[in-house]
A = this chain, B = another copy of it.
Amino acid sequence: MKERIKIGYIGLGRRGWGIIKIILQMPDVEVKTICDVRDDHIARTLGEFEKNGIAKPAVTHDYKDIINDPEIDAVFIMTGWGAHVKLAKESVLAGKYTGVEVGCVYDISECYELLDAYEKTGAPLMMLENGCYCRRELMALNMERKGLLGEVVHCKGGYHHNLFECDLFMKNAESGEVETNHYRLIEYANRNGETYPTHEFGPISKLLRINRGNRVMTLASFSSKARGLKEYIKENISPDHPFYNTDFRQGDIVTTVLTCANGETVMLELDTTLPRPALSRDFTVRGTKGMVSETRKTVFLSGMEESVENNDEEFYEKYDHPLHAEYAKIGPRGGHGGVDWLTIRGFVESVKRGIQTPIDIYDTLLWMSIAPLSEASIARGGMPVDVPDFTRGKWFNREPLPHNKYCLDEVIEDPSVPIYPDMKE
């Protein structure tokens, strides 16, 4: 096992900036090289090194300097969606452990390019999907694996998040000007599909044992008309904005239904351009013995009073996943209530041990494939489309992932792996 790993880090925009600040708190990770095309992003990041008293990393504008560096163990790809596949492919081909921010491919062929690269080198590729490490999602996994929910037959989730002011038309913190170049706007102008499914589908996929004894067979997507963005722009954004007159293609609500080989259905919703309350993933699991519902903040088990609601605190006390039980004692770190930390640690501990990542390439490819499959189904009026089996038949007989506490397939207690490598256990 390596005591300390060296990473290269590509992409220092908003998300990349948030995550590198977390990584700089990890004493077992050396950020050897950082890469971005924008000098202001690099300068901001170097400042963070200085603030933390950490020796400055190498700096490059060319990601190849990272991918070709034999000393680098792992590569983080934190760019916008559009560059994920190209960079991940080269990184995997170079034999690096590769962590990639959430996002989907544009064309299904890109999944096969990544798969081909993986089949050549075996270098793990992990989508850094923090939804998998959220407390409620992990409690549901824990309860399901203990049999408390009975046989799970249906799950649902969504990305319910009005992005008008936090993403699409974010104001520059200094100038107060509305930014005009968020890539999601360009996506929404051109595409119509379930382009952001993984926060909810990641944990559902794990809970349903997809790619390990189960698989997704079909996907069908349906789009409402696209009205929210255009109306918001007319009322709130200056006519100088480059998208002022755009007729967006992205429907305001995209509903997607997946069917699984083991008979489960999964319903997903993309909901980012209409007024609504705060972010929700509406994570919902339905089994023959119980239900977990984020929106209701409720766990319901057979035999309980039907009037029960808002009882999840009580269930966290009883059935918290060991990772969050430990977290509750030692306190979380980093963004999104500490789940970014857990996600990065799951990746880093795999790199240190030279084992498979908790989210593997088959998970990553399946999750990335949802956008183009969804676009195809919408274009055909909701016709179900075939979902590829990226395991190429191995799904019904695959070995479990190597065990450690970050495993998302089973629930493993493993005190030998710390959450904070700088703390004595």
Q: A227-B153, A253-B153, A288-B231 are in contact. Are A222 and B277 (CB under 8 A)?
A: no
Chain A 270-314 near chain B by CB (<8 Å), digits 1 or 0: 010011111000000011111100011010111110111100000
Minimum distance in angstroms from A381 CB to a CB of chain B: 6
- Check A231–B307 contact: CB distance below 8 A: no
Minimum distance in angstroms from A268 CB to a CB of chain B: 11
- Check A309–B277 contact: CB distance below 8 A: yes
Residues of chain B within 8 A of A263, CB atoms compared = 224-225
Within 8 A of B (CB), among A139-155: 150-151, 153-154
Residues of chain B within 8 A of A150, CB atoms compared = 227, 231
For A231, the closest partner residue in chain B by CB is B288
Minimum distance in angstroms from A222 CB to a CB of chain B: 5
Q: How many residues of A contact B (CB 8 A)?
A: 54
Does A218 sit at the interface, judged by CB under 8 A?
yes
CA distance in complex: A309, B228 (Å): 22
Residues of chain B within 8 A of A302, CB atoms compared = 275
- Check B162–A306 contact: CB distance below 8 A: yes
Residues of chain B within 8 A of A110, CB atoms compared = none
For A280, the closest partner residue in chain B by CB is B296
Does A401 sit at the interface, judged by CB under 8 A?
no
- 5 more A-B residue pairs beyond the given contacts A255-B257, A275-B289, with a C-beta to C-beta distance below 8 A: A151-B231, A153-B252, A162-B306, A220-B220, A277-B296
